């Protein structure tokens, strides 16, 4: 059997969303294993479904199918665990990799239960981001595993659910995994483009984007016959489509040392530093004006928030930035941040006065 090393670069995990039957799993596994890049075979055995009545996984008996798939392909296998019983059963069947699903990472009780069940084992655990964009829950789950003495830990970015309908099933909110990578530079970060995109057409671009952000691997759902899959049919790809994706994506290097470009990069970075310095000065000066405005509003008992004026400020800048390379989303988000900080400063001034 191939050895599982979650720290190896280009960690590709692939397999069906769910293990549906012995035939479906073994067929999928065999076809997927033709792709030599695939390092781990995945399949969900216990499926957390939003509504009752759907296929909730084949349960413990499917662990035996995973074991067969491992013997057939020589690939390590992985599944999702959400309770102590899941962990015990999975370890009993020698499942090589366990992952904590997004609906579990949100719940510290469940994460602790899993951590306690794993104490004293040599298990490999990947932690998916929580379903809501809460970095601290993700951090907390890592800390719980570490406290339980689990050393082989990695992260999976699968996007965040939102009420608004967007092009993604789960909005990637890349800034959150980027921050997670900064906090835990030693943990491998795997992208799950299947659950981010929600449709097979989107998997390539999300995968490539993650590799451009220096991710260490991908977890892609692949099924021998996706159209009849019992879960997540729209986002699963055939093993052949998986091959195409793996052949097309481009792995980039994060090392900037030594290359001919290193000098030019240094010059550009120095320019960026200078602009950042100017930005801080400019923002500070702008907030100085906010301070004066806060004082004036305080003296004259005016509300800090002047909605109409804020609307005008935003519209004016959005209009002005139309001809620039900045996206409207960025400009709006930036101005909103600026406005909140300006309100904070105005409030402080007001409080000092009263």
Residues that bind Mn ion (CB under 5 A): 17, 232
Helix (H, G, I), strand (E, B) or coil at 302: coil
One residue of 39, 70, 128, 157 binding ligand PEP per CB under 6 A: 128
Cα-based distances in Å from 254 to 204, 211, 259: 20, 10, 12
**Which entry of Mn ion, ligand PEP, none binds 172, CB below 5 to 8 A by partner kind?**
none
Give the position of tokens 């084949």.
58
Alpha carbons 295 and 299: distance in angstroms, whole number: 6
- Which range, of 55-63, 69-77, 95-103, 258-266, touches ligand PEP by CB under 6 A? 95-103
Q: Binding segment for ligand PEP among 20-28, 98-106, 241-249, 327-335 (CB under 6 A)?
A: 98-106
The answer to whether 153 and 123 are in contact (CB under 8 A) is: no
Task: Provide the 8-state DSSP code for 102.
Answer: H
Does 157 bind ligand PEP (CB under 6 A)? Our answer is no
Least distance from ligand PEP to the Cβ atom of residue 42, Å: 7
Site string for ligand PEP, 271-300 (x = CB under 6 A): ------------------------------
- Give yes or no for a contact between 297 and 279, defined as CB atoms under 8 angstroms apart: no
> Do residues 348 and 294 make contact, with C-beta atoms less than 8 angstroms apart?
yes
CB of 288 to ligand PEP, least distance (A): 46
- What is the number of the residue whose Cβ is closest to ligand PEP? 101
What is the torsion angle, in degrees rounded to the nearest 10, for the CA atoms of residue 237, residue 243, residue 244 and residue 247?
A: 140
Residue nearer to ligand PEP on the CB measure, 115 or 331: 115
Give the SS3 label for residue 80.
Answer: strand
CA distance 56 to 279: 52
* Tokens 């390379």, residue located: 325
Number of residues that bind ligand PEP (CB under 6 A): 10
Q: How many residues does the chain have?
A: 354
Q: Which does 101 bind (CB under 5 to 8 A by kind): Mn ion, ligand PEP, none?
A: ligand PEP
Please enumerate in sequence order all residues whose Cβ is within 8 A of that of 197, keeping only pairs 6 or more positions apart, or say none: 168, 169, 203, 205, 206, 235
Q: Minimal distance in Å, beta carbon 110 to ligand PEP?
A: 12
Pick from ligand PEP, Mn ion, none: which does 158 bind, CB < 5 to 8 A by kind? Answer: ligand PEP
**Tokens 């609906």 sit at which residue?**
103
Site membership for ligand PEP, residue 193 (CB under 6 A): no
Q: Is 158 one of the binding residues for ligand PEP (CB under 6 A)?
A: yes
Whole-Å CA distances, 138 to 86, 111, 130, 245:
21, 10, 6, 29
The residue from 12, 62, 102, 331 that contacts ligand PEP (CB under 6 A) is 102
> To the nearest whole angstrom, how small is the minimum distance from the Cβ of residue 194 to Mn ion?
6
Contact string (CB under 6 A) for ligand PEP, positions 44-63, x = contact: x---x---------------
* Distance separating alpha carbons of residues 87 and 67, to the nearest angstrom: 15
Q: Minimum distance between the CB of residue 149 and ligand PEP, rounded to whole angstroms? A: 24
Provide the minimum distance between the beta carbon of 327 and ligand PEP in the complex, in angstroms, as a whole number. Answer: 28
Of the residues 57, 78, 101, 217, which one makes contact with ligand PEP according to CB under 6 A:
101
Binding site for ligand PEP (CB under 6 A): 17, 44, 48, 80, 101-103, 128, 158, 195
């Amino acid at each position: 059997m191939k050895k599982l090393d979650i720290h190896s670069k280009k960690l590709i995990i692939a397999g069906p969303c769910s293990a549906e039957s012995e035939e479906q799993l073994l067929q999928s596994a065999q076809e997927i294993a033709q792709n030599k890049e695939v390092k781990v075979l995945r399949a969900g055995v216990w499926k957390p479904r939003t509504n009752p009545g759907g296929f909730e996984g084949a349960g413990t008996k499917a662990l035996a199918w995973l074991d067969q798939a491992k013997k057939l392909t020589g690939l390590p296998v992985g599944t999702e665990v959400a309770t102590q019983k899941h962990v015990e059963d999975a370890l009993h069947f020698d499942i090589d990799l366990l992952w904590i699903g997004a609906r579990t990472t949100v719940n510290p009780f469940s994460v602790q239960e899993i951590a306690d069940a794993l104490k004293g084992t040599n298990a490999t655990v990947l932690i998916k981001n929580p379903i809501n964009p809460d970095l601290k829950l993700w951090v907390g789950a890592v800390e719980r595993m570490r406290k339980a003495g689990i050393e082989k830990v990695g992260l999976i970015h699968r996007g965040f659910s939102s009420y608004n309908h967007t092009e993604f099933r789960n909005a990637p909110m890349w800034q959150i995994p980027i921050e997670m990578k900064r906090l835990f530079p030693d943990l491998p970060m795997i992208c799950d483009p299947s659950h981010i995109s929600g449709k097979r057409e989107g998997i390539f671009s999300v995968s490539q984007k993650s590799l451009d952000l220096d991710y260490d691997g991908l977890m892609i759902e692949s099924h021998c016959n996706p159209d009849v899959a019992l879960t997540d049919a729209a986002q699963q790809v055939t093993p052949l489509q998986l091959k195409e994706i793996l052949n097309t994506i481009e792995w980039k290097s994060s090392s900037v040392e030594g290359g001919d470009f290193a000098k030019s990069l240094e010059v550009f970075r120095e320019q960026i530093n200078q602009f950042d310095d100017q930005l801080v000065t400019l923002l500070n000066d702008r907030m100085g004006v906010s301070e004066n405005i806060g004082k004036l509003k305080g003296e004259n008992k005016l509300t800090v928030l002047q909605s109409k004026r804020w609307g005008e400020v935003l519209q004016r800048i959005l209009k002005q930035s139309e001809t620039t390379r900045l996206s409207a989303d960025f400009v709006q988000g930036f101005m909103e941040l600026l406005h909140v900080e300006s309100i904070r400063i105005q409030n402080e001034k007001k409080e000092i006065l009263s």
